[in-house]
Amino acid sequence: MSSGNSLPSTEDDGPLFLGARLNSGSHEVAVIDEHGRDLLVLPVPARGHSFAIDSARRRAVAFGRAPGRFAVAFDIDGGSAPHAIAPPADRHFFGHGAFTPGGRLLLATENDFGAGQGVVGIYDAGKGFARIGEIASGGIGPHEAVLLGDGKTLCVANGGILTHPDYGGQKLNLDTMQPGLAYIDVETGDLTDQVFLAPELSRLSIRHLAIDALGTIWFGCQYQGEPAQRPPLVGRHRRGREPELFAGPDETLKAMNNYVGSVAVDASGEIVATSSPRGGLVAFWDAATGRHLGNRELADGCGVAPLERHHVLATSGRGAVTDLSPGATGLLLPPAPGRPAWDNHLRRMG
Amino acid sequence: MPGSHPALHSAPVRQAPKGMAAAISILVFASTAQAAGDGSGARITDKFAQPAFAELQRAAAATEQEIGALCTAPSAEALAKAQGAFAELVSAWGKASVLRFGPLADEHRMERIYFWPDPRGIALRQVQATIAGEDESATSSENLAQKSAALQGLPALEFALYGSGADDLAGGAAAYRCRFAEAIAGNIASIANELLAGWADGTDFTDAFTAPAADTEPYRSAGEVDAEIVRALSTQLRFVHEAQLLPALGADIGKARGKRAPLWRSELTFVLATAQLDGVRDLLNAAGYESAVAEETSWVPGAILFEIGTARVALDGIETVPSDAFADETARDKIAFAGFTIESAAANITEKLAAALGLIVGFNALDGD
């Protein structure tokens, strides 16, 4: 479906945001501006999840939702044809990935379901995204992975949950889960550092990551244990230390309902936003202290990405696009039945 | 610019998404308190949960007793009686296990009774090692309750009663194995007692489930109770299909592996699955949704019940033993058809039933995202 619509210009170099969504029964990925206006829409074969972004080349890769059988590399400005990327038959994507600096390599979290181990697939962007190898993710069920500021260390959230496509969405190892963070040197493939949550939190699956202004990893969790237990769902990790967890106020923790869907920092990296679509809220945290700063309501809200200092752009499954800060909601597009349902993640480019 | 390639286009806002099928979960924001004792939770507790767990408790105690008799006076007849009691226990569990929230979600009771799926065969390995090593500590149900979940429940008991070497039980040449089996049955009976106690009138859980209010936990509104029921119904259906039937079915007949199905040794695979479908049916009936929803959606529960019944008939009509059925063309067709209708019923529950009950459908809160 081509369009004669006049599209907003991107030449002012304002930030762009990428998200997957469901629109009238069709799956697509969209690039929007900071006002929530569509700049580019690309149909995809199934439900999308998150993106790897190569800002230098203004290129991104959209990953299919786990168990993902597709990824699509595309030009953010729509300049060239999208390029399909498929995982090997005995692997599937988990929905997240990252580019190495300069966009040379694409790294994707994947399931080696035959071995029941997580891997990071390596794809050469210069060779049509040919898969040139893989490295162990350091655990089971790797989900989000982010490249640290040194440009060569990949931090992987190994959620710990074993799945196999033969068993649909069933979780196969709840009694032996060992969620943790793995730090991998992507040049050598070496596991340079690894931390696990305490044994009593073995069912607290670490899934989503963001890096704050000081380079500290922030993570959001989903609890697989007894629903009545409410462990903290938000934490941070500084290399060389143990992971720290922040519970926040009891009411916030209860509202989050054992589920954080996405994690982002604001544009300054000073505050952290964690969304809970089950709780219909985005919670804010002070990155320096872990102090809870406040919540904003957003029904079925999940996508969060840096917008300005102390602000994030957030999207919802009901079509809302909103500017959130710890004390204010600036609704850009209200939720409405006819609007596209935004999927879990929103990513910023530029 | 956008539009320069046919695959890239602008996106006008269009109609509400349809067919979110597998991609939804239920969120509840309403907080109307349910008047005590007249809601879906109260009906389910009274008509389904308490009787189902009482039957589980009875069947487990009977199994423990029959195995005790077998251990005292081994004979082929005593073994057959113990196995018959086990089959009733499997049926009782199949029905009750749809109630996978509340007391069954506490203390890992679900996995301790039914450690499944188990793609790596952990239960088999641990049970064989226990029997081979004659671990005395595994012959008391109290001790067993502290051990691996894989040793505690139905898969372990099935191997003890039907696995290789089980014939020796009839001749008295397997005294240890018999005592181990008795302890497993005793442990299941203890867990069933706890479940029955958890669902008894007056517990915090039952109070919240039957009369949710702003100050009750874990449910604060009738909507939260209904969301739990809807989730339980769809989760159980998907469990039957994804965890029990699909892995054995394989992508094609050449990849069928009946021994990946649960309880194939006792040939109770489809007995379990039909009992699980009966549990879904009985829970849905007990909830009384047909009269609770608006007239224009009152057909929804009936349509779901019809699909569940269709799947049940298909599975019930399988005449081949489970270990061979998945690779048998006729039986395989029935299993695949049952799987299809089970998935359809699950989708109708999460979409149409949830909507009919006024539950808000969320897009972003699925496990694993």
Count of helix runs (H) and strand runs (E) in chain B: 18, 2
Structure tokens at A230: 């409410």
Q: Do B8 and A41 touch (CB under 8 A)?
A: yes
Q: Do B17 and A42 touch (CB under 8 A)?
A: no
ipTM: 0.81
Assess whether pLDDT exceeds 80 at residue B1: no
Could you give the count of Cα atoms lying within 13 Å of B98 in the half-sphere of its Cβ? 30
Q: Assess B215–A contact: CB distance below 8 Å, yes or no.
A: no
CB neighbourhood size of A127 (10 A) = 9
The list of chain A residues with pLDDT below 50 reads 1-11
More confident residue, B178 or B119: B178
CB neighbourhood size of A199 (10 A) = 7
What pLDDT is attached to residue A12? 58
What pLDDT is attached to residue B37? 57
d(CA A196, CA A181) in angstroms, rounded, equals 6
Q: Do A7 and B1 touch (CB under 8 A)?
A: yes
Residues on chain A touching B120 (C-beta within 8 angstroms): 116, 172
Find, among A171, A197, A172, the residue nearest to A182 by Cα. A197
Determine the length of chain B.
369
d(CA B196, CA A140) in angstroms, rounded, equals 36
**Contact in structure between A52 and A63 (CB atoms under 8 Å):** yes
Find, among A79, A70, A62, the residue nearest to A28 by Cα. A62
Structure tokens at A345: 């993640």
Give the closest-approach CA distance of B360 to chain A in angstroms: 9
d(CA A137, CA A155) in angstroms, rounded, equals 9
Give the closest-approach CA distance of A282 to chain B in angstroms: 13
**Contact in structure between B202 and B42 (CB atoms under 8 Å):** no
Q: Which residue has the tokens 């340079």?
A: A192
Q: Which residue has the tokens 């589920």?
A: A259
What pLDDT is attached to residue A7? 46
B88: CB partners within 8 A, 6+ apart:
B59, B62, B63
Give the closest-approach CA distance of B225 to chain A in angstroms: 14
Strand, coil or helix: B198: helix
Residue type, A155: C
Determine the length of chain A.
350
d(CA A340, CA A326) in angstroms, rounded, equals 26
Burial group, residue A185, by CB count within 10 angstroms (0-12, 13-18, 19+): middle
More confident residue, B242 or A168: B242
Q: Which residue has the tokens 């962007």?
A: A125
d(CA A53, CA A60) in angstroms, rounded, equals 4
Residues on chain B touching A316 (C-beta within 8 angstroms): 364
Residues on chain A touching B242 (C-beta within 8 angstroms): 167-170
Q: What residues are paired with A62 via a beta bridge?
A: A51, A72
Using left for φ > 0, alpha for ψ between -120 and 50, and beta otherwise, residue B172 falls in left
Q: Do B362 and A78 touch (CB under 8 A)?
A: no
**Which residue in B7, B149, B246 is closest to A166 by CB distance?**
B246
**Which residue in B117, B218, B247 is closest to A227 by CB distance?**
B218
d(CA A137, CA A87) in angstroms, rounded, equals 16
What pLDDT is attached to residue A227? 82
Give the closest-approach CA distance of A165 to chain B in angstroms: 9
Residue type, A113: F
Q: Assess B218–A contact: CB distance below 8 Å, yes or no.
A: yes
What pLDDT is attached to residue A1? 36
A145: CB partners within 8 A, 6+ apart:
A96, A97, A98, A107, A109, A120, A137, A154, A155, A156, A157, A209
Residues on chain A touching B10 (C-beta within 8 angstroms): 3, 5, 7, 38, 40-41
d(CA B328, CA A47) in angstroms, rounded, equals 34
% of chain A residues with pLDDT over 70: 97
Give the closest-approach CA distance of A108 to chain B in angstroms: 15
Q: Do A343 and B11 touch (CB under 8 A)?
A: no
Q: Do A80 and B5 touch (CB under 8 A)?
A: yes
Assess whether pLDDT exceeds 60 at residue B347: yes
d(CA B18, CA A338) in angstroms, rounded, equals 11
CB interface of B with A, residues 6-25, below 8 Å: 6-20, 23, 25
What superfamily would CATH give domain B40-209?
Answer: M75 peptidase, HXXE motif (1.20.1420.20)
Residues on chain B touching A40 (C-beta within 8 angstroms): 2, 8, 10
d(CA B48, CA B284) in angstroms, rounded, equals 10
Assess whether pLDDT exceeds 60 at residue B168: yes
Q: Do A24 and B15 touch (CB under 8 A)?
A: yes
Strand, coil or helix: B22: helix
Provide the edge-to-edge strand list for the sheet that holds A204-211: A204-211, A217-223, A234-237, A244-246
User: Using one digit for the tens of pLDDT, what is the confidence trace for B278-315?
Assistant: 999 999 999 999 998 999 999 999 999 999 999 999 99
Strand, coil or helix: B245: helix
Q: Do B17 and A25 touch (CB under 8 A)?
A: yes
User: Using one digit for the tens of pLDDT, what is the confidence trace for A283-326?
Assistant: 999 999 999 999 999 999 999 999 999 999 999 999 999 999 99
Residues on chain A touching B362 (C-beta within 8 angstroms): 277-278, 300, 317
Residues on chain A touching B241 (C-beta within 8 angstroms): 168
d(CA A231, CA A253) in angstroms, rounded, equals 8
CB neighbourhood size of A241 (10 A) = 10
CB interface of B with A, residues 246-275, below 8 Å: 246-247, 250
Q: Do A340 and B17 touch (CB under 8 A)?
A: yes
Find, among A246, A220, A261, the residue nearest to A345 by Cα. A261
d(CA A62, CA B223) in angstroms, rounded, equals 36
Rounded to an integer, the average pLDDT of B161-175 is: 96
